[in-house]
Amino acid sequence: MTGSTTRSVSIVLFDGFELLDVFGPVELLSRLPDSVDVLMLGPQEGPVRSSQGTEVVATASHRDAPEPDIVMVPGGMGTRSLACDERFLTWLREWASTATIVTSVCTGSALLAAAGLLDGYRATSNKLAFEWVAGHGTDVEWAPSARWVHDRDRWTSSGVAAGMDMTGALLTYLFGREEAERAAREIELGLHTDPDRDPFAVAHGLE
């Protein structure tokens, strides 16, 4: 799938999100400024504190979020409480259901699953937290060994740094391999292009 239309990526921030889950993908996305707009959404406008303590400024709140094109949900320790927060999950389900593409990094897939957004889909997550994540959702085919999974309009990645590989694959899907490779080359990143290459599944006894 390629095209020249500018795509909007709405990133769902929350207290305790994982920094690299967000800024690994954002670094790649920012290399295509004429093709991608990034919007940071928070529980409210203003600073949102990450798991690492660094605060990031959200320019719009969840409540006032515009209709999404591409949704990205990061992981982080904050997912543990949000996965059982019905108010948040209801908002996420209703808002993200109109998106053309819904993505997650790391344990962000637990939030998608808990909101019912992965039912009927194949998905993956952080291998260190895989058992916890796989306890969410009612009809999710969890892939214990995958760097990332692309199933129709859903993209989910393994832990933290794997989000950059997924984003590289997403850029290839949207804009072509040449653009994705250029973005990776500019930041001196060696992208893994095989979604089934997952040494961390072995390391954590999932394969």
pLDDT digits (tens, 9 = 90+) for 62-120: 999 999 999 999 999 999 999 999 999 999 999 999 999 999 999 999 999 999 999 99
Q: Quote the longest CA-to-CA distance of the chain.
A: 43
Exposed / middle / buried, residue 192 (Cβ in 10 Å: 0-12, 13-18, 19+): middle
Residue 90 placed within a domain: yes
Contact 76, 21 (CB under 8 A): yes
Name the phi and psi angles at 55, rounded to 5. Answer: -100, 140
**2 in a domain, yes or no?**
no
Q: How much is the average pLDDT of 130-142?
A: 97
β-pair type (7-12, 36-42): parallel
Model's pTM, two decimal places?
A: 0.96
Residue 2 has pLDDT above 90, yes or no: no
pLDDT bin (cut points 50, 70, 90) of residue 5 is: confident
What six digits make up the tokens of 198?
């997952």
Q: What is the pLDDT of residue 100?
A: 98
Catalytic residues: 106
The parent domain of residue 39 ranges over 7-200
Residue 1: inside a domain, yes or no? Answer: no
Alpha-carbon distance of 185 to 93, in angstroms, equals 36
pLDDT of residue 3 exceeding 70:
no
In a domain, 183, yes or no: yes
206 located within any domain:
no
Does the residue 54 lie in any domain?
yes
Predicted confidence (pLDDT) per residue in 154-168, tens digit = 999 999 999 999 999
CATH code of the domain in which 89 resides = 3.40.50.880
- Note whether residue 40 is domain-resident: yes
Cβ-based neighbours of 177, under 8 Å, separated by 6 or more: none
Q: Does some domain include residue 205?
A: no
Q: How far apart are CA 129 and CA 159, in angstroms?
A: 9
DSSP E strands, the chain: 7-12, 36-42, 46-49, 55-58, 60-61, 70-73, 101-104, 122-123, 141-142, 148-151, 154-157
Number of structural domains (the chain) is 1
pLDDT band at residue 207, thresholds of 50, 70 and 90? confident
